[in-house]
Amino acid sequence: MSNALSLLQQRHSAPSRQLGEPAPDAATLRALLEAAIRVPDHGKLVPFRLIELRGDDKLKFGAQLAERAIRRDPNLPESKREKERFRYTFAPLVIVVVARLDDEAGIPEIEQKLCAGNVAYNILLGAYALGFGAQWLTGWAAYDPEVASLLNLAKNECVVGFVHIGTPQAEIPDRDRPALDDLLSQWKA
């Protein structure tokens, strides 16, 4: 069996809370991201961009998101407040994948978002192939207008995901997967 197929069969997400140092160094990250942006792109629009969060800036971003979560819901239980406060303290690197939508291009918006989503998935695959762990997260922050402003997103942009990357700090068991026979049918005329 090919190495690529084996990689697909073994790939799994590593919970962001179980990711620590090291993250990919600058050269490895560049190679990973150059590979990740090689996605199907109807119309060659390049309907995506990436934002790197690392170090103190990542921690400050996480702190601002935690403050926003509490402003959004002043009745947020303490356990959820704590989760928000620590969300960006584990993985040493977060890549924000942003969709840039062009409503005048004649390419359906869903195809543009799927293109950006493929970038996020390629980052997951590439990180796993390089021996790192990664988790693609969205949650409320991906859809919040104040977070979009914090990230300096334009009106035609939206967050597709926050991809947390690092080295797994514990063995990550795979989860149960669906059976192909439950999902595959054959259309007949």
Homologous superfamily of the 16-52+90-169 domain (CATH): NADH Oxidase (3.40.109.10)
Whether pTM > 0.75 for this model: the answer is: yes
Determine whether the annotation assigns residue 13 to a binding site.
Answer: yes
Report how far apart the first and last C-alpha atoms of the chain are (Å, whole number): 34
pLDDT digits (tens, 9 = 90+) for 16-72: 999 999 999 999 999 999 999 999 999 999 999 999 999 999 999 999 999 999 999
CA distance 140 to 105: 29
Interval 40-49: pLDDT, tens: 999 999 999 9
- State yes or no: 137 annotated in a binding site: yes
Q: Binding site annotation covers 42?
A: yes
* 136 appears as a binding residue in the annotation: yes
Ligand-binding annotation for 11, yes or no, is yes
Question: Is 71 labelled a binding residue?
Answer: no
Q: What does the domain layout of the chain look like in residue ranges?
A: 16-52+90-169
